[in-house]
Amino acid sequence: MNTNSLFEPIFLGDLKLTNRITLPPLTRCRSSQPGNIPNDLMASYYSQRVSAGFMITEGTQIEPRGQGYAWTPGIHSQAQIEGWKKVTKAVHANNGIIFCQLWHVGRVSHKNLQPDQGAPVAPSAIRATAVKVFIETAPEQGMLIEPSMPRELSTSEVKELVELYRQAAKNAKEAGFDGVELHSANGYLINQFISEHTNHRTDEYGGSLVNRLRFLKEVTEAVISVFGKERVGVRFAPLFETTQEERVYLGLVESNPHETYITAANMLNKLGIAYVSIAEADWDNSPDLPESFRQDLRDTFKGVIIYAGRYTLEKALNVHAKGYGDLYAFGRPFIANPDLPNRLKYGLPLNTVENSTLYGGGETGYTDYPMYNEAMA
């Protein structure tokens, strides 16, 4: 297959990307404390990977209640905005394009991470099970713990959250980001509204699929009002074939995931957003997405489609050759190979990711992975 097909330029909305290799959102837990503030180390990390045609930040909480893991950055304080300016300045100095992923974990949190140790908020008071959150126990130390029981948001509080997303988009724009991605995947807040298993509401945000998609629709409209539709993307993680354990873990496997996410894509297509990103299952022996879903998504959504989830060069080329996708995100390979596009283009060997340094810490396992020419020196 023609590797060069991934190195052809493409327009993402009104932005011209130099290639189709994407840095996806990757939580690394390196923000400065107190305050979950982006820092110089994070600026170095992103600027090292600026050869990606497109970059999306790690999940960035839109408000204090949106945090589910220690040391993840926010976009709700002025100090955080100033910290992110370091990142966007470093990326733009090298002609990179970067979106901020707006994140709210909803029920996937613990009271120790919440303001005044309150209960996490969610569409319905249903506890997340078989999943752990990461709390700080001491400086530079942390532990995994079961999420706390959430409380159900009132209808007025849901509408207030829509406005918090709008404000987060304004903050991201002030920080210099080129656009925003809404994290609507992996069992977090927007996904909790979409899922029939975690949304048992009886108001306008619950019940039918159209109602369960209402929160996503209103949040998308809110951030479009800030950035414009061509600078907005949404990320989903549809699951089809899973074990019982995986169903429990996410709690969000729909009885008809095809209908759920094609309906969502149709709604987003009408809003005219720049892209939809699909995070495929990435555990060992996870199944591929059904071809019928890929085809229906391509037929339904007219913007750019991004795929992620244990992608190799060969898998990306196969999906691309069938016309299903436009951009391809490489997570762990990009962690260990800051010059990943160059390595893929020329068939160069890849560094191996060190799992023990994925979350928390300093430059080790973060900004010290060598470029190919440095490794050969």
pLDDT by residue (tens digit) across 62-102? 999 999 999 999 999 999 999 999 999 999 999 999 999 99
Binned at pLDDT 50, 70 and 90, residue 173 comes out as very high
The closest of 249, 69, 35 to 144, measured between CA atoms, is 69
Number of domains in the chain: 1
295 pLDDT more than 60: yes
Other CB atoms closer than 10 Å to residue 95's CB: what's the count? 9
Return the pLDDT at 250. Answer: 55
| Separation of CA 277 from chain center | 9
Percent of the chain whose predicted confidence (pLDDT) is above 70: 94
247 pLDDT more than 60: no
Question: Which run of H or E residues covers position 166?
Answer: helix 155-174
Return the pLDDT at 282. Answer: 77
Average pLDDT, the chain: 94
pLDDT tens digits, one per residue of 114-168: 999 999 999 999 999 878 999 987 677 788 999 999 999 999 999 999 999 999 9
Return the pLDDT at 374. Answer: 65
Return the pLDDT at 248. Answer: 46
Catalytic residue check, 46: no
Return the pLDDT at 1. Answer: 61
Whole-angstrom Cα distance, residue 290 to residue 307?
13
Return the pLDDT at 376. Answer: 60
Q: Give the pair of three-digit tokens for residue 194.
A: 């979409």
CATH of the domain at 266: 3.20.20.70
Q: Give the pair of three-digit tokens for residue 56.
A: 């999306």
Binned at pLDDT 50, 70 and 90, residue 241 comes out as low
Q: Which of 46, 188, 311, 328 is catalytic?
A: 188
The parent domain of residue 87 ranges over 3-376
- Please report which residue ranges of 281-339 form alpha helices under DSSP H: 291-300, 313-321, 332-336
Whole-angstrom Cα distance, residue 7 to residue 3?
8
Would residue 365 be called left, alpha or beta, if left means φ above 0 and alpha means ψ between -120 and 50 degrees?
A: left
Binned at pLDDT 50, 70 and 90, residue 284 comes out as low
pLDDT (average), residues 338-344: 98
47, 91 Cβ separation under 8 angstroms: yes
2 pLDDT more than 80: no
In Å, how far are 286, 296, 353 from 283, measured between CA atoms?
5, 24, 16
